[in-house]
Amino acid sequence: MRMPQNPKSLIPPPDTWRWLLRLFGPPRVTLREAYADDPGTGRFDHGALDDLLRRCVDGEGFVDYAGLARYAGLLDGYLSRIAAVDFAGLARDEKLALLINTYNAATLRLILDHMPVASIRDIPARARWKSRRWTVGGRTMSLADIENCELRAKFNEPRIHFAINCASVGCPKLRNAAFTGAAIDAELAAHTHDIHAGARWLRMAPDGFELTKIYRWYEGDFVQSAGTVANYVSQYAPGIAQTPRRDWLPYDWSLNAA
């Protein structure tokens, strides 16, 4: 990373966390719809992943990793089909569902590859989010690429932040069913409402509210969508735009193991 040449520019402003995020946080992106006029009509069957998630993930998003390991062959088969998919031929919503499901399936495979771990952050950094080992339609990418270069940069869809899962307790919970292109909007809506009803991600108090750090790390995405973070949250917690934010909730990086 190229550092500023002016020493005065190294002095953090009062809102230090924003300054640090610019240096070390996720890249800023401009939300846009890259596939709005895409003529693709193809479909992809996520039945294998759906079956695995329903077997091994409970309603709170916790994963039975020992059980998942017994079905590792099915998970690998699903990822192999994604590697060979005609991505360009898929419809817009099919692309969105496939990328979300790929991120989640790849994260499950990553955890299985390094078990036992108490946290995804126990995995060496070189093998974690920036490791280019996941193939989608012939293109090999990292989890960071899927999130930042594909999902965030090519879909005007902030709800992806509540749909993709980093195998951690503090992360918005893993849905115990696969997303589908045919119903992706309704599925994202229901899942995002469910997240905002959970005290792990939003807590209300008489003197204000506490909010998941997802909103802190990806503030720019929510501001582009709704003007302010509070405006965005108010879609799922009415009245919150008139309530002061008290604090950010602590982010629990413990493994989301059942």
pLDDT tens, per residue, the chain with 258 residues: 333 444 444 444 555 655 455 555 699 999 999 998 888 899 999 999 999 999 999 999 999 999 999 999 999 999 999 999 999 999 999 999 999 999 999 999 999 999 999 999 999 999 999 999 999 999 999 999 999 999 999 999 999 999 999 999 999 999 999 999 999 999 999 999 999 999 999 998 778 889 999 999 999 999 999 999 989 999 998 878 778 878 899 999 999 999
In this prediction, residue 24 carries a pLDDT of 55
d(C-alpha 245, C-alpha 163), whole Å: 24
Contacts of 23 (CB under 8 A, 6+ apart): 1
Tell me the helices (H) and strands (E) count for the chain, helix number first: 12, 5
In this prediction, residue 1 carries a pLDDT of 37
Segments of the chain assigned E as strands:
134-136, 139-141, 202-205, 208-211, 245-248
Give the tokens for residue 258: 């059942």
pTM metric for this prediction: 0.90
Whether the upstream peptide bond of residue 116 has omega within 30° of 0, thus cis, is yes
Helix/strand/coil for 90: strand
In this prediction, residue 244 carries a pLDDT of 80
Pairing of strands 208-211, 245-248: parallel
Q: Do the beta carbons of residue 218 and residue 18 sit within 8 Å?
A: no
In this structure, what is the dihedral angle of CA atoms 50, 52, 54, 60, given to the nearest 10 degrees?
-110
- Looking up tokens 């998630």 gives 53
Burial code (b: 16+ CB inside 10 Å, e: under 16) for 226-241 equals beebbebbbbbbeebb
